Amino acid sequence: MISIFISLKEKYLMPHTLVIRGFDDQVHVQLGDMANQRGVSINSIVKDAVDMWLNQKKSEIRKKHHLIIYSDDESIKQLIKSMDRLAIESNLYRCFFGPPDNPSIKLLTKLEWYNGTVIPYFYSSSSSSSSQSKSKEKQHNKVQSQTPIHNYVDITEYCNKVIDNIIQNADNKSVCCMDFLMNDVSKTSLKQALSLEKTYDSSRLAGLMYCNYKSSNLINSEITDILELFEIHDQIFILKENEIYKLHITKENVHKLFLN
């Protein structure tokens, strides 16, 4: 049994010792011959092999970015309950971010998912506090009248802080993350939400990111923006009560309109 000790420099340039056990004499002799032929050390050969393996594994890490469109809070809450069990079984880091008063956010908090939302939350109601005696219609109008506190640069900076917050707490684990922030952004500007989605898409977290949009916020949007939203995400899911539908989008030729 032969042990090979390799001095590696990692992220913070601190030396670490990598111990590889299980090499028999024949393998060690072959490594020695190869090292002599190349004029390098056995340590260098093994380090190159380790680096190659790490790069290959890094490319195999899931970095999925999915879209979920739901019509009502009850539908998404039922989905979350099912996802919670599967995320635990898959040993994923369960996390979320979004408006504190969202029913799904309250459920995720109850299920002990990590809340990556940076406080104070970026969006606030345009009106002051309201009494509980206000009608449901006024409450609905209050939610719909939400406006951004700052401009696009500020919301981008806020989103970066949220993602950094999750990265710091995930401890290198792959995530299962539920995003309800983009739904709030889309209430005032789907184009702005698209720009933020593209920024995230260029540098994804390891694991599964689910962007959740309420259908009522998309129904009056431009079809070009909706199609772009679909294209940014890997898969599109639509919730109907307790059922999940997967939506497939393909670009077709006009001749397909005349085929069976």
Mean pLDDT per 10-residue interval, the chain, length 260 residues:
40 51 70 79 75 59 94 95 96 97 96 96 56 40 44 92 97 96 94 96 96 95 96 96 92 87
Residues 194 and 68 in one domain: yes
**For residue 99, what is the DSSP state?**
-
Q: What is the pLDDT of residue 58?
A: 53
Exposure string for 229-246, b = 16+ CB within 10 A, e = fewer: beebbeebbbbeeeeeee
Directed axis angle between helix 190-201 and helix 223-232, to 10°? 20
Of 12, 43, 59, the domain-final residue = 59
Same domain, 82 and 199: yes
Task: Assess whether 106 and 194 both reside in one domain.
Answer: yes
Q: Could you tell me if 211 and 104 lie in one domain? A: yes
Which of 2, 12, 11, 9 has the alpha carbon at shortest distance from 42?
A: 2
The domain in which residue 236 lies consists of 64-247
Residues 22 and 74 both lie in one domain: no
Give the chain's domain count.
2
Q: Sign of the C-alpha dihedral, residues 171, 174, 176, 181?
A: positive
C-alpha span between 229 and 193 (Å, rounded): 9
**And the tokens for 200?**
């995230």
Quick one: 27 and 137 in the same domain? no
In this predicted structure, what is the pLDDT of residue 9? 41
Residues 53 and 79 in one domain: no
Q: Is residue 48 located within the same domain as residue 22? A: yes
252 domain-assigned: no
Q: Is 185 within 8 Å of 156 (Cβ atoms)?
A: no
> Is 142 in the same domain as 190?
yes
Looking at the fold, whether 13 and 94 belong to one and the same domain comes out as no
Judge if 22 and 42 occupy the same domain: yes
Report yes or no on 146 lying in a domain: yes
